[in-house]
């Protein structure tokens, strides 16, 4: 959510930003916000003037009573009563207009960074850099679900009967590999100075609307029927929500946190949920990075976060590349975002395995996360990035470490988490 001062002082900039995101249907929101803000401030000024008059009249009533001027006192009391009645009306209008303004402001996209490439959708995202050499072996790489089935490692049919499409059972070595990757990612981030956390897996609606746009909320979140609770789509939601309506001592920042959670997503309208496999699913687990920092530090942290993901994937012998997300591919709260994509030898192309985002003060402004500094209070900046999100990450791992005989090599970094094994041998 942007600062209303920006709409007051530079509405054209806000409108131009909306155009860059190809959301012209939201242009009218800027004028609506400006008009509601104008009326709200007018009501507030009238209310402040009435309060001042009421105080003045109250003092004059006392003076009249002392001098015996009962008629004058009664006249002043009538003015006080009239002011009180109008104040009640104005306070109701102030609350009503404040809510209207908030709802509109939460639909206006955040101002994107100057260096974000302009484009309508993810087809316009820009490749930045490749890490590692993408290899296509001489032998055929099977579909990832077929690789897992060779190890008796996945049961999609039973999961479909139990829960429907978009769910899975992982078993044996594949399940162990899944847990090993998560645990390795946790320790990898701890060694880089991040504090490990396990957050609540459900959050209230005020946190949901604080961390994401209404469109994202509708497409992603599962609501608990009869309660003001939602299942989290990523631990970033509850980790940022932890600081709702708080004032943080500037000296304690930055907060660099890494969190584990299961994630639940409706994937409403998403292509691929009906496909066999675990690329797009309703439930998965993830290790996440979250940073809360001073505004001037967020660009530096942004680069640190995506580099952590690249470094981790390279320790597991997986080639990756980074893509700068274009304006039309950015969610409304994001200032800047970069995707990390892993190489798929089977598809002979890269696919997304993580996303790094700088949200500026958008989440902090919605959730009232402020910093207390030498020159007063100001809003924090928040950032997040995926460390690993298996089972999608397992697709990249299995394809890139598969051998011609069907075995899967275990990179040295992961062996302590796999009981010292250097290779997985298929049962089929």
Minimum mean pLDDT range among 45-59, 120-134, 135-149, 325-339 = 45-59
pLDDT confidence tier of residue 61, bands split at 50, 70 and 90: confident
**Beta strands in 96-232, from DSSP E residues, in sequence order:** 126-131, 154-155, 169-170, 195-197, 202-203, 222-223, 230-231
Tokens standing for residue 304:
């640190």
Q: How far is CA 193 from CA 196, 214, 256, 291, in A?
A: 9, 34, 7, 12
Among 257, 388, 383, which Cα is nearest to 320's?
Answer: 388
Beta strands in 330-391, from DSSP E residues, in sequence order: 336-344, 349-358, 369-373, 376-379, 381-388
Cβ count within 10 A of residue 255: 17
7: CB partners within 8 A, 6+ apart: 14, 30, 33, 34, 37, 108
Q: What are the structural domain ranges in the chain?
A: 4-105, 122-424
pLDDT per residue as tens digits for the range 189-208:
999 999 999 999 999 999 99
Q: Reply yes or no on whether the pLDDT at 333 is more than 90.
A: yes
Tokens 């939601």 belong to which residue? Answer: 237
Q: Name the band, by pLDDT with cuts 50, 70 and 90, for residue 148.
A: very high
What is the pLDDT at residue 272?
Answer: 59
pLDDT at 76 over 80: no
Whether 66 shows a pLDDT value over 80: the answer reads: no
Share of the chain above pLDDT 70, in %: 98
Q: Is 406 exposed, middle or buried (0-12, 13-18, 19+ CB in 10 A)?
A: middle
Structure tokens at 335: 């200032």
Domain 4-105 listed as CATH 1.10.287.40? yes
pLDDT score recorded for residue 273: 58
Under 8 Å between Cβ of 399 and 346: yes
Cβ partners under 8 Å of residue 243, min gap 6: 292, 367, 369, 380
Element (DSSP H or E) covering residue 423: strand 423-424
Q: What is the reported pLDDT for 125? A: 97
Helices (H), 277-367: 298-315, 362-367
Calculate mean pLDDT across residues 403-409. 97
pLDDT score recorded for residue 268: 64
In this structure, the dihedral spanned by the alpha carbons of residues 15, 16, 18 and 21, taken in order and rounded to 10 degrees, is 170
Residue 151 has pLDDT above 70, yes or no: yes
User: Comparing C-alpha atoms, which of 372, 370, 383, 403 is closest to residue 135?
Assistant: 403
> Averaged over 324-340, what is the pLDDT?
96
* DSSP class of 345: T
Decide which of 135 and 214 is more confident. 135
* Averaged pLDDT, 377-394: 95
264: its two tokens: 């639940």
Min mean pLDDT across 51-60, 277-286, 347-356 is at: 51-60
Is pLDDT above 70 for 100? yes
Residue 91 banded pLDDT, cuts 50, 70, 90:
confident
| Separation between Cα atoms, residue 287 and residue 388, nearest integer Å | 5
| pLDDT reading at 266 higher than 80 | yes
Task: Provide φ and ψ at 262, rounded to 5°.
Answer: -75, 155
Q: Where are the beta strands (DSSP E) in 215-348?
A: 222-223, 230-231, 246-249, 255-264, 283-293, 320-324, 336-344
Region 227-233: mean pLDDT is 96
Query: Measured between alpha carbons, how far is residue 203 from residues 113, 235, 270 in Å?
Result: 30, 10, 23
pLDDT, average across residues 388-406? 95
Please report the pLDDT score of residue 253 as a whole number: 97
The reported pTM is 0.90
**Residue 428: predicted pLDDT:** 84
| Residue listed under structure tokens 């803000």 | 37
Residue 407: alpha-carbon gap to chain centroid: 38
Q: Options 3.40.50.170, 3.90.470.20, 3.30.930.10, 1.25.40.10; which CATH number does 122-424 get?
A: 3.30.930.10
- Tell me the average pLDDT of the chain: 93
At residue 50, the pLDDT reads: 84
Residue 223 in contact with residue 268, Cβ under 8 Å?
A: no
Q: Can you tell me which residue has the tokens 């996209």?
A: 109
Name the least confident of 41-45, 245-249, 359-363: 41-45
Report whether the peptide linkage leading into residue 297 is cis, meaning its omega lies within 30 degrees of zero: no
Longest alpha-carbon distance in the chain: 108
């Amino acid at each position: 959510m942007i600062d209303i001062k920006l709409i007051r002082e530079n509405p054209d900039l806000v409108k131009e930003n909306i155009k860059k995101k190809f959301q012209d249907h939201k242009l009218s929101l800027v004028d609506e916000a400006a008009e509601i803000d104008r009326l709200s401030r007018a009501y507030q000024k009238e209310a402040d003037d009435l309060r001042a008059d009421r105080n003045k009249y109250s003092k004059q009533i006392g003076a009249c009573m002392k001098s015996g001027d009962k008629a004058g006192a009664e006249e002043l009391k009538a003015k006080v009563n009239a002011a009180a009645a109008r104040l009640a009306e104005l306070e109701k209008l102030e609350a009503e207009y404040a809510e209207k303004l908030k709802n509109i402001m939460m639909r206006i996209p955040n101002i994107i960074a100057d260096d974000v490439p302009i484009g309508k959708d993810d087809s316009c995202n820009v490749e930045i850099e490749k890490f590692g050499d993408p290899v296509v072996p001489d032998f055929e790489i099977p579909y990832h679900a077929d690789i897992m089935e060779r190890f008796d490692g996945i049961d999609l049919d039973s999961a479909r009967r139990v829960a429907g499409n978009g769910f899975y059972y992982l078993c044996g070595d594949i399940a162990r590999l899944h847990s090993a990757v998560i645990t390795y990612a946790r320790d990898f981030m701890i060694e880089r100075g991040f504090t490990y956390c396990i957050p609540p897996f459900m959050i209230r609606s005020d946190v949901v609307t604080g961390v994401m746009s209404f469109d994202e909320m509708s497409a992603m979140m599962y609501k608990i029927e009869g309660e003001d609770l939602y299942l989290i789509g990523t631990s970033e939601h509850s980790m940022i929500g932890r600081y709702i309506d708080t004032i943080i001592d500037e000296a304690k920042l930055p907060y660099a946190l890494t969190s584990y959670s299961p994630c639940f997503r409706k994937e409403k309208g998403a292509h691929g949920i009906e496909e066999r496999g675990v690329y797009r699913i309703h439930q998965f687990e993830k290790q996440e990075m979250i940073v809360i920092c001073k505004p001037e530090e967020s660009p530096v942290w942004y680069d640190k976060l995506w580099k952590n993901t690249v470094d981790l994937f390279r320790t597991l012998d997986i080639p990756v590349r980074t893509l700068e997300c274009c304006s039309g591919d950015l969610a409304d709260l994001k200032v800047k975002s970069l995707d990390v994509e892993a190489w798929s030898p089977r598809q002979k192309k890269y696919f997304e395995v993580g996303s790094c985002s700088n949200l500026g003060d958008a989440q902090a402004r919605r959730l009232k996360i402020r910093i207390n500094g030498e020159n007063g209070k100001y809003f924090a900046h928040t950032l997040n990035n995926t460390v690993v999100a298996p089972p999608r990450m397992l697709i990249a791992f299995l394809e890139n470490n598969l051998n011609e005989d069907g075995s899967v090599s275990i990179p040295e970094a992961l062996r302590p988490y796999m009981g010292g094994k250097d290779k997985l041998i298929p049962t089929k």
